[in-house]
């Protein structure tokens, strides 16, 4: 009985799976570039694009700065066209593929509640990021800033805006930015919680107080104390709330009981409250005001006391508001 040897077939084995093989995996249908990747930017700046930077503050002397990063095809080297700086040294020509340029635009706000703005023409390239910081405001609601791209004119407000970059209230420890930040209009969200200590009027006179004309204000409450002299007579205090752009007595509330001589009464005006008179000395009285009581410019609060005598004194006057910088 004979025997034989099986020799391998000459050549290389066939590559790839057998034609009858069926894979259970699903191949990717999306691929990504590893070379010549597009810039990580959402805004391309053309040569006629202008950045308009606006800010307003309740604090005079505030400084607001807009910081931007741009991706340029190449760096702008100093020097004159006929005498360029040597390549390879500080300030020399830098050849692509790209150069990140930082830009700082500072806006001084010498006066409170005044709209200030600056414009700057940018170099052609990609805008990577923008942020705004300030130097004074410790709380939200004091300083508001906005930056937008204008097409064409570099001096007009609002000009020809085609993209809003950022907007919001900024503080020392809370900058705002683009593209990660959220655009907040100056009347959005909670406003600045403000408290005013009003000076005492002259004896025998009512007090009058108006908030700063910030653009929008809501009266949150008021407290005042009336101390009557020993002179005989009844005093009947009431309070008037007006919105200065209208100038009429929009709302008036009056105490239900007269205040006799040698008496101290503290009045608290509360939103949606009811008339409540406490007992004892001094007397505490709660009076209602509308909720909300809004003003488009300023809120005016004043007392109007029937039978007020020369020795009577209003004191300990405090007004509480919520305010928004609705200037632009």
Of 27-36, 72-81, 149-158, 292-301, give the lowest mean pLDDT range: 72-81
Compute the CA torsion angle 168, 174, 176, 177 (nearest 10 deg). Answer: -170
Q: Give 43-80+91-178's CATH code, choosing from 1.10.10, 1.10.3720, 1.20.120, 2.60.60.
A: 2.60.60
Each residue's pLDDT tens digit, 266-298: 999 999 888 998 888 889 999 999 888 888 888
% pLDDT > 90, the chain: 51
* Domain range summary for the chain, segments of one domain joined by +: 43-80+91-178, 192-324
Does the structure show a pLDDT above 80 at 50?
A: yes
Does the structure show a pLDDT above 90 at 9?
A: no
Q: Which CATH architecture has domain 192-324?
A: Sandwich (2.60)
Average pLDDT of the chain, as a whole number:
85
Q: List, in order, residues 6 or more apart from 263 with CB less than 8 Å away.
A: 227, 228, 281, 283
Name the residue with tokens 């000395």: 281
What DSSP assignment string belongs to 173-191? TB-EEETTS----TTSS--
Name the residue with tokens 């632009």: 328
Does the structure show a pLDDT above 90 at 326?
A: no
What is the reported pTM?
A: 0.77
Each residue's pLDDT tens digit, 63-110: 999 999 998 877 666 666 666 655 544 455 555 567 888 999 999 999
Q: How far is CA 205 from CA 111, 256, 303, in A?
A: 33, 21, 9
DSSP letter at 96 equals: S
Of 24-28, 135-139, 283-287, give the lowest mean pLDDT range: 24-28
Q: List, in order, residues 6 or more apart from 210 with CB less than 8 Å away.
A: 244, 298, 299, 300, 301
Q: Do domains 43-80+91-178 and 192-324 have the same CATH topology?
A: no
Q: Are 151 and 50 in contact (CB under 8 A)?
A: yes
pLDDT of residue 13: 63
């Amino acid at each position: 009985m004979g025997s034989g040897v099986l020799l391998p077939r000459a050549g290389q084995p066939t590559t790839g799976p057998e034609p009858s093989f069926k894979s259970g995996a699903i191949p990717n249908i999306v691929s990504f570039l590893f070379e010549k990747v597009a810039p990580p930017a959402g805004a391309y700046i053309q040569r006629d694009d202008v950045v308009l930077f606006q800010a307003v503050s309740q604090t005079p002397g505030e400084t607001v700065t807009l910081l931007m990063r741009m991706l340029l095809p190449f760096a702008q080297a100093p020097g004159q066209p006929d005498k360029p700086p040597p390549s390879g040294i500080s300030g020399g020509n830098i050849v692509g593929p790209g150069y990140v340029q930082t830009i700082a635009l500072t806006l001084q706000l010498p006066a409170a509640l005044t709209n200030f703005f600056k414009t700057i023409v940018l170099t052609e390239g990609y805008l990577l990021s923008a942020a705004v910081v300030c130097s004074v405001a410790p709380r939200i609601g004091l300083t508001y800033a906005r930056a937008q791209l204008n097409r064409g004119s570099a001096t007009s407000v609002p000009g020809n805006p085609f993209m809003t970059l950022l907007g919001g209230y900024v503080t020392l420890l809370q900058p705002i930015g683009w593209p990660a930040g959220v655009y907040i209009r100056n009347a959005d969200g909670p406003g600045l919680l403000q408290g005013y200590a009003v000076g005492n009027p002259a004896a025998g006179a009512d007090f009058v107080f108006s908030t700063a004309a910030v653009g929008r204000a809501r009266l949150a409450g008021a407290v005042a104390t009336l101390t009557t002299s020993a002179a005989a007579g009844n005093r009947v205090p009431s309070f008037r709330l007006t919105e200065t752009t209208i100038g009429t007595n929009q709302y008036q509330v009056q105490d239900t009981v007269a205040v006799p001589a040698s008496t101290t009464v503290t009045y608290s005006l509360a939103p949606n409250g009811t008339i409540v008179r406490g007992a004892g000395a001094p007397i505490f009285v709660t009076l209602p005001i509308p909720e909300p009581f809004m003003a488009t410019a300023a809120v005016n609060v004043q007392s109007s006391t029937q039978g007020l005598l020369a020795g009577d004194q209003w004191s300990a006057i405090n007004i509480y508001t919520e305010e928004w910088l609705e200037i632009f």
